[in-house]
Amino acid sequence: MPVNKDSNLIFEGLNESQTKAVNTLKGPLLILAGAGSGKTRTLTHRIANLIHNGVEPWRILAVTFTNKAANEMKDRISALLKLTNANSDNMPATGTFHSICVRILRRDIEKIGRDRNFVIYDTSDQETLMKGILKDMNIDSKELKPKAALGQVGKFKSEAMNTKEVAEQATSDWMARMVKIYSTYQNKLKENNALDFDDLILECIRLFREAPDVLDRYQNTWKYLNVDEYQDTNHAQYIFISMLAGKYRNLCVIGDPDQSIYAFRGADIRNILEFNEEYPDAVSIKLERNYRSTQQILDSSDAVIAANPGRPQKKMWTHRADGNLLSIHEVRDEKDEAEETVNNVMSKLANGTSLNEQVVLYRTNAQSRHFEEACMRNALPYRIVGGVKFYARREVKDLLAYLYAMHNPQDALSLLRVINVPARKIGKTTIEKINAFCQEHEMSFWSALKNINSIDHINESTKNRISEFAALIEKYKERRLQISVSQLSTELLEEIQMEKWLRDDTTEGETRWENIGELINVMHKYDGLESEQSFVSFLEEVALVSEVDKMNDARDDALTLMTLHLCKGLEFGHVVIAGCEEGIFPHSNCMFDKEQLEEERRIMYVGMTRAKDQLTLMHANSRTVWGDMQANSASRFLDDIPEKLVERKGDIFSRMQLSSSGLSSTERRNASGEASRTSRGLSDLDFNQDINSSEEDFNQDPSHDFESGARIHHPIFGDGTIMSLSGDIAEIRFDSGNVKKIALNVVKVEVIQK
């Protein structure tokens, strides 16, 4: 294996604590890595050092929480070792918990009586399945929503509790009902030869327990384990890792208890807090030097998190001592909050901080609307992280459902999704008759389709269409073994005339077909693999893909809007945290629960430590929640920040005038004669967001100075020429080559030459 024998690269640029961690190669190791302390760098350098010291790469397993982190780790290790050809033989095994478990189960799941051709159900699939279960159990969705039921099932699974264990703890009628739902849900998954994400880990644990030879094989294969973001692991993940590490105990975990913010999805902070109790001989190392933020930001965030009891003490420091004070900005309401935030962002933009280096963080998705509208009013490009995912779009899921059905025809959900896509005149009544036949004869949905002539009360023409559909699935089930997944999908789309069905001469239809094209593009990555492997590899990427993994792929300069839970692992020059008020952040659901309140404080800490240069904290005096105006006090988290680190904004006298006038800041500007902004025609602007226009009417006519051929200056896009006018909307060709539609009474556009 051609690797670098010189260790200089491995230790180059490491500080004392990082070097100690990198050189600790044997036994249990706990690395407490504060925000921005070079956690990923330390872990990758340690793995490279293991290989440099003679550990065979395939003996090393690195577990991450995102595919992006796994790929980044591979690239860094390859560079450190100067590998001439990085492949599975000279690189450690890396991946997420789910991807590693899929790898194990594809090989060995048959030892516990399951079919290795299982499909992985995503959130949408799970909801569809649960909706059917609740309906069959005559449970009203108003009483128990499918998402809520799945949430409870997820809690059971994150604790590694099977249906029998849950049943033993059922002490109420409600819990007894949940046991029945859980049991039915698992049976349905098994009938469809499907696993959900939690099952991937649970079935691995069951496999290790019931087939000790398999566990022994993997223990001997992966003798050195490295787990990133250990504070985010749940109990099931803890058991999985503990079993793998049980024989050789070469377990390195790295994380930060102060950044444990996923309790809602089962993360158990005790896994990292009690690591030394489980491994008394463990070496513990703190990474306290920060390479991201200014000292002012670090001191402020440390002051906030210090109020949490029972946390390992650490003091973050940096050489960047000349930073700006934090800005705590008080505003009248959520509309002012959004407007002032956008003004702040544009000011930073004018001073050299790009939009890609700025982010607005909020506690809940519902807070985004006003920021979206403010961006649109100011013609400020923006992106939302956390909207509808590409793989969740209808047409994309339709094609994927075809592929899942070919892979595993027992997957009833996928069959049901596409049996009438494109339309085949196979309606709801027909489906109900088939389902009734399945229940009566204890037959799978797929078997019923193949025996459709045995079902009464379905007319012959419908039976023929169903037979044709079943034959189609059978045909491509065989075809997937002969050609690549991209070629297979292209042939299928042509045969079912998907393009004609999607492209219905509307903009939406064109977009849907473009999404199909993008999905085919993804498939092409697997053209070089053997046919079946191409097919399986693609489906697994789709099932395991993460939106945040792809967030940084965006090339256009735009302001990022996202929830605080999604910002983990990211950094920005300028961070705005909105809604820093009691009841908003901390959230009203958490204010009277000690553990939840501690987590809210950790969420604030995570948000604050995303900032490199400037941190702005916004809070409003009042906010409309569920249609009611609420007066809110500033968040308790703001009180924890020392005054010497803070610059406060918000004039008391102005607020008193504002209160008496009942006008918003935007309306006050309009009243004083300043150019107003309207939301009329915003749907025609050059933004790719589906946002409802504001109901407010600012009632100002566009200036008569605007005419076709006029030269103008835009505050963001620069100089350009008006190509055409349609009411308030001007089509402008900018000198950069971009052509955009701009609402002239929304944006301050200056005429520089008529």
Structure-block tokens of residue 384? 């939302």
Dihedrals φ, ψ of 5, to 5°? Answer: -95, -5
Q: What is the pLDDT of residues 697-712, one digit of tens each?
A: 323 333 446 777 888 8
Q: Does residue 351 have a pLDDT over 90?
A: yes
Residues 197, 120 contacting (CB under 8 angstroms):
yes
Q: Is the dihedral of CA 133, 136, 137, 140 positive or negative?
A: positive
Q: Which residue has the tokens 């985010």?
A: 232
The mean pLDDT value for 26-39 works out to 96
CA 636 to chain centre: 28
Q: Which of 136-150, 349-363, 607-621 comes out lowest in average pLDDT?
A: 136-150
Instruction: Inform me whether the pLDDT recorded for 276 exceeds 90.
Output: yes
Closest CA to 48 of 30, 28, 29, 62: 62
Tokens of 650: 């918000």
Tens digits of per-residue pLDDT, 62-94? Answer: 999 888 888 888 888 888 888 766 666 778 999
The model's pTM = 0.74
Q: In what order do the strands lie in the sheet with 93-96?
A: 93-96, 60-64, 224-227, 251-255, 29-33, 283-287
pLDDT computed for residue 628 by the predictor = 62
- Three-state SS annotation for 513-537: HHHHHHHHHHHHHHCCCCHHHHHHH
Give yes or no for residue 654 having a pLDDT over 70: no
DSSP 733-749: EETTS-EEEEETTTS--
User: What's the pLDDT score for residue 469?
Assistant: 95
Q: Is 626 left (phi over 0), alpha (psi -120 to 50) or beta?
A: left
Alpha carbon distance 300, 297 (integer Å) = 5
Enzyme catalytic residues: 39-40, 228-229, 259, 610
Task: Give the per-residue pLDDT at 166.
Answer: 92
User: Rounded to the nearest 5 degrees, what angle is found at the Cα of 404, between the Cα atoms of 475 and 493?
Assistant: 55
Indicate the helix (H) or strand (E) that contains 573.
Answer: strand 572-577
Q: Report residue 754 as tokens.
A: 């008529």
Question: Does the structure show a pLDDT above 80 at 8?
Answer: no
Per-residue pLDDT band at 670 (split at 50, 70, 90): very low
Residue with tokens 């604790």: 159
**Residue-wise pLDDT tens digits, 421-459:** 998 989 899 999 999 999 988 999 999 999 999 998 899
Which residues, at least 6 apart from 498, have a Cβ–Cβ distance to it below 8 Å? 399, 422, 492, 516
- The winner for highest mean pLDDT among 242-251, 495-504, 550-559 is 242-251
Q: What percent of the chain clears pLDDT 90, i.e. is strictly above it? A: 61
Asked whether the CA dihedral 228, 231, 233, 239 is positive or negative, the reply is: positive
Q: What confidence score (pLDDT) does residue 705 get?
A: 61
Quote the Cα angle for 540-128-160, to 5°.
Answer: 65
Say if CB 540 and CB 532 are below 8 A apart.
Answer: no
Q: What pLDDT, on a 0 to 100 scale, did the predictor assign at position 741?
A: 65
* Strand pairing category for 559-563 and 572-577: unpaired
Please provide the DSSP assignment of 193-226 as one string: TEEEHHHHHHHHHHHHHH-HHHHHHHHHH--EEE
Residue 745 confidence class, pLDDT cut points 50, 70, 90: low
CB 743 within 8 A of CB 714: no
> Distance between alpha carbon 159 and the CA centroid of its chain, in Å?
22
Per-residue pLDDT at 6: 56
Reported as a single tens digit per residue, the pLDDT across 194-222 is 999 999 999 999 999 999 999 999 999 99
Contact 252, 225 (CB under 8 A): yes
pLDDT band at 632 (very low <50, low <70, confident <90, very high): confident
| All residues at 6 or more sequence positions from 57 whose CB lies less than 8 Å from its CB, including other chains | 1, 51, 89, 90, 91, 92
Q: How far apart are CA 19 and CA 31, in angstroms?
A: 12
366 CB-contact burial (10 Å; exposed 0-12 / middle 13-18 / buried 19+) = exposed
pLDDT of residue 282 exceeding 70: yes
pLDDT score of 84: 61
Per-residue pLDDT, 695: 30
Give the pLDDT band of residue 114 (cuts 50, 70, 90): very high
**Per-residue model confidence (pLDDT) at position 698:** 28
* Rounded Cα gap, residues 194 and 98, in angstroms: 14
| pLDDT beyond 60 at 672 | no
For residue 612, what pLDDT is reported?
97
SS (H, E, C) 251-293: EEEEECHHHCCCHHHCCCCHHHHCHHHHCCCCEEEEECECCCC
**The predicted structure's pLDDT at residue 67:** 84
| Cis ω before 586 (30° cut-off from 0) | yes
For 487-511, letters b (16+ CB in 10 Å) and e give bbbeebbeebebeebbbeeeeeeee
Stretch 252-271: mean pLDDT, rounded?
A: 92
Give the H/E segment covering residue 93.
strand 93-96
Which residues pair with residue 725 across a beta bridge?
A: 730
Predicted local confidence at residue 38, as pLDDT: 94
DSSP characters over 23-62:
H--SS-EEEEE-TTS-HHHHHHHHHHHHHHTT--GGGEEE
Query: Residue 705: which of 675, 661, 749 has the closest Cα?
Result: 749
pLDDT, the chain, mean: 85
Q: Which pLDDT belongs to residue 723?
A: 82
pLDDT value at 601 more than 90: yes
Question: Is residue 380 within 8 Å of 717, Cβ to Cβ?
Answer: no
Q: Which two tokens stand for residue 710?
A: 């006029």
pLDDT at 417: 94
| Cβ–Cβ < 8 Å for 318, 295 | yes
Give the chain's count of helices (H) and strands (E): 30, 22
Cis status of the peptide bond prior to 212, with omega within 30 of 0: no
725, pLDDT greater than 90: no
Is 727 a residue whose pLDDT tops 70? no
325 compared with 680, residue with greater pLDDT: 325
CA distance 44 to 78: 10
pLDDT at 676: 29
Beta carbons within 8 Å of 543's beta carbon, 6+ residues apart: 120, 122
In angstroms, the Cα distances linking 676 to 75, 90, 377, 662, 669 are 51, 63, 10, 17, 7
pLDDT category of residue 662 using cuts at 50, 70 and 90? very low
Residues above pLDDT 70, as percent of the chain = 85
User: How far is Cα 112 from Cα 210, in angstroms, rounded to an integer?
Assistant: 7
Q: Give yes or no for residue 392 having a pLDDT over 80.
A: no
